[in-house]
A and B are shown apart, each in its own frame.
Chain A
């Protein structure tokens, strides 16, 4: 069973910290800090879950000690747990390392990996998949192109994608390079994912890294939330 700890910060707003399966969640006051008490183990209404970002375009921007791919894989795993079909659009030259994704629990056989040559093709493919209504989550890895990707900065293209995502109740997750953000008017939630080597709580052990997913901007909610996830490093990393 999970343990919930509610503390107040210096301004008096409530912060819910809950350890569920190694995940700490702290939310600033004013947001929807929730603990669901259904028949299953209590889980918070975590803002970094598939169901929390349904119908939205989510941007995971790169930063120092980036944990972009890891943050996207968390969303992907959650979507698969909810039996949502998913696709990952990337460049043929480089992409996620499949053994790592497999060890994260993701069902690779059910993940469609679309490999194309440029950023515009990536967005066109994403449009086709989302428009069909048959895909719940589409991840577009623009970072695979490095700093050459620019199609996502076009408002027209992004608005179209945003409308299609909302209409078909899916999620479009964009992985963008540092300083090359997508057109902000079309993006509902922008987050930054960072690896944190410092010890976090009592769950840190050798070979574990804390990943912090911080909301930079959120259209629908109040933003300002942070999710901490404890991850296992790759083999050979301590």
Chain B
């Protein structure tokens, strides 16, 4: 394809929020699913899948109305941060195909890639298109794609609904763009209805109107679309990394004026921020702490802490404190800037601790907001973060060696679950060879734990009844209130037959015992307690 104008590829990850949601909840794919603007019955349906639209739900409906049409509707919100993260993910993906990637600020999920300079990698622009579709599909997204010559033209053609369009000339692009229906151009429902009432259904219909008329009669959104279609809107292609801001917010019911407690809360928030940044291969450059509340306060000195080479340089000329105003809710904002991007939580907390030492709060803080600026992390920083985790494993191993030296090699163990039926055969303690960072499994409900005695304690031959009631001897004469069971375990017929009836016993002095009756030995035993 030869053309004076360099061709470009427009990629539309259609229903971007919905695709993000379905990637998070893959089990929902066969159900009606909708993305709502905010949680609650008045949340507005933004996007939905075909199952939901088949049930009669339309975009713009309230969630409560949609639920009445489709009681099995699954819905969730996709916040700004998740959206930005999704855009970032796709941006990085498309950068592997072409370094000249730009994205649409108004509509997340739309990207443009340029082919200039990539001829040796992709001899034809169709090769770029195939590479893009394959990369996007690999990440679990579906996309439409158009190869054309102008941003708006390719956007309009890709929005017409065809999965893959390759245009060979600008005139083809203009012709197809004019045929795109206005309802597919992300206009508000009200604007679309208004245009349809005037029988303006496509971009071509809109372009037949005079510009002054469009400006007078329709909204700014329609005017902007008109300008983009006519090419009079200045919309240069800017290859720019989407901004990525990780935030954490904490609301404090009743407020708190204790700086130590606030610092503890900030530490928890900072830990989450650093984990999220590390997961996205980014490092913290600066951290802004906003403390909002009622009353007034002041910072002792508005100094900014800068970190570089383990030294702290204070620049007193840069005051970053917003002075409190007695008539409004006070708001302190302080910034910690790092000279080198870092993922070191302890280092950042040290700086914050130093700042908070000079803080005198005479009001209750009702909201804490942490705002960040970040940049790409170097491989060394990420490696250190992954290796370090929270604790120094080498130091932990050395401590365990000292414990072995003091108490014997068999004192340091790890528990292993076995497949035996009997409680004492269902676990073992093996020597702990190497300590690792934990990876706990996801659980829905925690379990009540039992304490098990390595050697079951033999009780009296049978529970005895005295004037107080049925009583278990040898366990302090505890009176039985309730017995639950039995559940019987038998086995070992090939060696030594075992048959036990297990019970859980509530006693009058409020202990929950785990006992069993051994049928062969005709004796009661205490296996443990439930604690």
Contact = CB atoms under 8 A, between A and B. Distances in A.
Interface of A: 1, 6, 14, 16, 21-22, 29-30, 32-40, 45, 51-52, 54, 63-70, 73-74, 77, 79-86, 92-117, 121, 124-125, 128-129, 131-136, 143-144, 195, 208-209, 211, 220-221, 229-238
Contact of A65 (B81, B247, B250, B511): B511
Given A33-B254, A85-B391, A124-B406, A100 B414 contact: no
Contacts of B252: 32-34
Given A36-B248, A135-B396, 7 more contacts: A51-B268, A63-B510, A65-B510, A73-B446, A96-B449, A105-B442, A112-B414
B497 interface: no
A97 B451 contact: yes
Interface residues of B, number: 88
Contact of B249 (A37, A65, A113, A229): A37
Contact of A111 (B392, B414, B427): B414
Interface of B: 39, 76, 79, 81-82, 246-254, 256, 260-261, 264-265, 267-269, 271-272, 276, 389-400, 402-403, 406-407, 410-417, 423, 426-427, 429, 432, 435-455, 484-485, 487, 502, 504, 509-512, 514, 528, 530-531
Contacts, number: 286
Contacts of B452: 94-97
B451 A128 contact: no
A70 B531 contact: yes
Contact of A134 (B392, B426, B429, B442): B392
7 contacts: A14-B253, A21-B444, A97-B451, A112-B400, A134-B394, A136-B391, A234-B514
Contact of A136 (B269, B272, B390, B410): B390
Contacts of B398: 132, 134
Contacts of A64: 509-511
The residue in B251, B414, B449 that gathers the most chain A C-beta atoms within 10 A of its C-beta is B449
* A-B pairs with lowest CB-CB distance, top 9: A134-B396, A64-B510, A132-B399, A105-B443, A110-B438, A80-B438, A134-B395, A98-B415, A69-B449
B107 to A, nearest CB: 22
Contact of B39 (A1, A73, A110): A1
Contacts of A110: 435-439
A34 B442 CA distance: 24
B413 A115 contact: yes
A231 B254 CA distance: 30
Contacts of B440: 77, 80-81, 105-107
B414 A109 contact: yes
Contacts of A83: 389-390, 437-438
A149 B205 CA distance: 88
B450 A100 contact: yes
Contacts of A70: 446-449, 531
Contacts of B512: 65, 195
Nearest to B413: A113
B336 to A, nearest CB: 19
A39 to B, nearest CB: 5
Contact of A116 (B397, B411, B487): B411
A192 B491 CA distance: 39
B287 to A, nearest CB: 15
B527 to A, nearest CB: 9
Contact of A38 (B249, B416, B417, B502): B249
A32 B509 contact: no
Contact of A236 (B247, B264, B435, B484): B484
A45 B247 CA distance: 17
